[in-house]
A and B are shown apart, each in its own frame.
Chain A
């Protein structure tokens, strides 16, 4: 078994670069690639949006993923310990904030994975025949709490079993097969869509650029938002997987490969979804589907089409919902591992930590399983909140020393990490202010213009600020406890965290 020693004991490491990259792509590829990307890409100008998305990956995702990787691989600790050892004991709360934002997402994301599993079961039992009332199926399912709670339990329980077994026997063993298989499924779905008569209109909607939208600030902000939600940069998930990196593993090429793989999954899913919709329906149907939101697009509008597609009912419907469930579960695994790594760092062994986390996640996910409004609120609050995690990663690099971090990245990376990385980290706060400010403005101007001050309004500014403030206060108040409780890693000074300045690892 591949292990490496650290001062906190031996730590399992990924067996190969391929398995690490596969796991990290699995972390990044989620339900958003399949149901959010096609909707937003088509609406925002097709190919022009894709160009903006590539720029967003280069400017935001790759530098932040590299920063997270440095934080995790050097500290060999979860988010709390990594921020403590890179920035000093007064900053452990930042890792706690980043971790809890992602854990907040995990609570409702398990419910979403449960939906995908339920729809896979519907599909293999032939529910999506021609003329199926998919809106009735969706309403019937989501208004039956025992069903949504049961499938939420199945999702979180399955992921718990995988994470309980650790890296080698658990998530590495599963993901090295599951992620290539997910791509095979997406390729089959995309080819099926492209071979349907009339699919070219869907491809036009997705790929042909509307260059006029290049000057539209909203299109750029949508591209940066999609990229931030999709790649997982700033969530702490890549940081967590990097704890298990082999020594002297590359940073730059891996981060670039993961972004390219994540984008490919989105493009394949977009081809499958939009190609099918335009082949079997009209543009107005596609626009209506897009306006119905993520769940409406996948579970009502797209599900309606399987019965009309040759082989759709018994082959392509199960394949689509299996791909959706696999994409969701591969991300949920990373979220649970993030929670487990932090709890393990605080001294609780994995075999005890995972059952606790599964239990808490199950209970905390029940409100989202019962109420779609509650789930939407949580998606909104913690979805926007994860942008803050990206800022924290950049700030951690600045506190540690951008040039010092660059030199460490450059030493082992397969292509040179030079001024471009330091420059992107230094301008990151400005990019963050533009994107974050846009979201704040939208809450007041677009989502809840009359009730932005009401914390009980699902999409108000105040509901976001109140929940972030509560988390910030708790994490800040617990900073010293967190800092003390997390065990020492290879970067922790011999006298304990904060005793002397964090030493540089050779």
Chain B
């Protein structure tokens, strides 16, 4: 049982962290793109 728990903590945990970081990056990129579009619109 302890093998399953520690495997989930390390392997599953790192996988979840990576998915979270990638999702965060995608969200931030979308926000930046929206802001850039807004700035372009304001200039026009």
Q: How many of chain A's residues touch chain B, expressed as a range? A: 20 to 34
Which residues of B2-44 have CB atoms within 8 Å of chain A's CB atoms? 2-3, 6-7, 9-11, 14-15, 17-18, 21-22, 24-25, 28-29, 32
Give the distance in Å from the alpha carbon of A47 to the alpha carbon of B10 in the complex.
8
Instruction: Determine if B3 and A254 form an interchain contact, defined as CB atoms under 8 angstroms apart.
Output: no
Chain B interface, >50% SS class? helix
Give the distance in Å from the alpha carbon of A204 to the alpha carbon of B5 in the complex.
10
A308 close to chain B: CB less than 8 A = no
Instruction: Determine if A267 and B25 form an interchain contact, defined as CB atoms under 8 angstroms apart.
Output: no
Instruction: Determine if A257 and B21 form an interchain contact, defined as CB atoms under 8 angstroms apart.
Output: yes
Give the distance in Å from the alpha carbon of A441 to the alpha carbon of B3 in the complex.
36
Instruction: Determine if A261 and B32 form an interchain contact, defined as CB atoms under 8 angstroms apart.
Output: no
A61 close to chain B: CB less than 8 A = no
Instruction: Determine if A253 and B10 form an interchain contact, defined as CB atoms under 8 angstroms apart.
Output: no
* A residues in contact with B3, CB < 8 Å: 200, 203-204, 207-208
A256 close to chain B: CB less than 8 A = yes
Give the distance in Å from the alpha carbon of A250 to the alpha carbon of B11 in the complex.
26
* A residues in contact with B24, CB < 8 Å: 253, 414
- With CB as the reference atom, state the residue of chain B lying closest to A16: B29
Number of residue pairs spanning A and B whose beta carbons lie under 8 angstroms apart? 57
- With CB as the reference atom, state the residue of chain B lying closest to A202: B3
* B residues in contact with A207, CB < 8 Å: 3, 6-7, 9-11
Instruction: Determine if B6 and A47 form an interchain contact, defined as CB atoms under 8 angstroms apart.
Output: yes
- With CB as the reference atom, state the residue of chain A lying closest to B6: A207
Instruction: Determine if B6 and A209 form an interchain contact, defined as CB atoms under 8 angstroms apart.
Output: yes
Give the distance in Å from the alpha carbon of A208 to the alpha carbon of B4 in the complex.
9
Given that A207-B3, A208-B2, A260-B18 are contacting pairs, would A250 and B10 also be in contact in the complex, using a CB cutoff of 8 Å? no
Give the distance in Å from the alpha carbon of A491 to the alpha carbon of B32 in the complex.
25
Instruction: Determine if B14 and A263 form an interchain contact, defined as CB atoms under 8 angstroms apart.
Output: yes
Give the distance in Å from the alpha carbon of A264 to the alpha carbon of B20 in the complex.
13
- A245-270 Cβ-contact flags toward B at 8 Å (1 or 0): 00010100110110011011001100
Given that A203-B7, A208-B6 are contacting pairs, would A260 and B17 also be in contact in the complex, using a CB cutoff of 8 Å? yes
Nearest Cβ on chain A to B9's Cβ, whole angstroms: 8
- With CB as the reference atom, state the residue of chain B lying closest to A256: B21
Nearest Cβ on chain A to B26's Cβ, whole angstroms: 8
Instruction: Determine if B14 and A260 form an interchain contact, defined as CB atoms under 8 angstroms apart.
Output: yes
* A residues in contact with B21, CB < 8 Å: 253, 256-257, 260
- Which one of B9, B18, B24, B32 has the highest number of Cβ atoms from chain A below 10 Å of its Cβ? B18
Give the distance in Å from the alpha carbon of A207 to the alpha carbon of B14 in the complex.
13
A101 close to chain B: CB less than 8 A = no
Instruction: Determine if B14 and A267 form an interchain contact, defined as CB atoms under 8 angstroms apart.
Output: yes
Instruction: Determine if A17 and B17 form an interchain contact, defined as CB atoms under 8 angstroms apart.
Output: no
- With CB as the reference atom, state the residue of chain B lying closest to A204: B3
* B residues in contact with A250, CB < 8 Å: 25, 28
Instruction: Determine if B17 and A414 form an interchain contact, defined as CB atoms under 8 angstroms apart.
Output: no
Instruction: Determine if A414 and B28 form an interchain contact, defined as CB atoms under 8 angstroms apart.
Output: yes
A50 close to chain B: CB less than 8 A = yes
- A187-215 Cβ-contact flags toward B at 8 Å (1 or 0): 00000000000001001100111000000
Instruction: Determine if B14 and A253 form an interchain contact, defined as CB atoms under 8 angstroms apart.
Output: no
Partner of B25, one of A203, A257, A271: A257
Give the distance in Å from the alpha carbon of A70 to the alpha carbon of B6 in the complex.
37
Give the distance in Å from the alpha carbon of A209 to the alpha carbon of B6 in the complex.
8
* A residues in contact with B14, CB < 8 Å: 260, 263-264, 267
A21 close to chain B: CB less than 8 A = yes
* B residues in contact with A17, CB < 8 Å: 25, 29
Instruction: Determine if A50 and B32 form an interchain contact, defined as CB atoms under 8 angstroms apart.
Output: no
Partner of A248, one of B7, B9, B18, B32: B32
Write 11 A-B pairs (CB below 8 A) sorted by A numbering. Answer: A50-B10, A207-B6, A208-B2, A209-B6, A250-B25, A250-B28, A253-B21, A257-B22, A260-B14, A260-B17, A264-B11
**A203-B6, A203-B7, A267-B11 provided; 15 other pairs, C-beta below 8 A?**
A46-B6, A47-B6, A200-B3, A204-B3, A207-B6, A207-B7, A207-B9, A208-B3, A208-B6, A250-B25, A260-B18, A263-B14, A264-B11, A268-B11, A271-B7
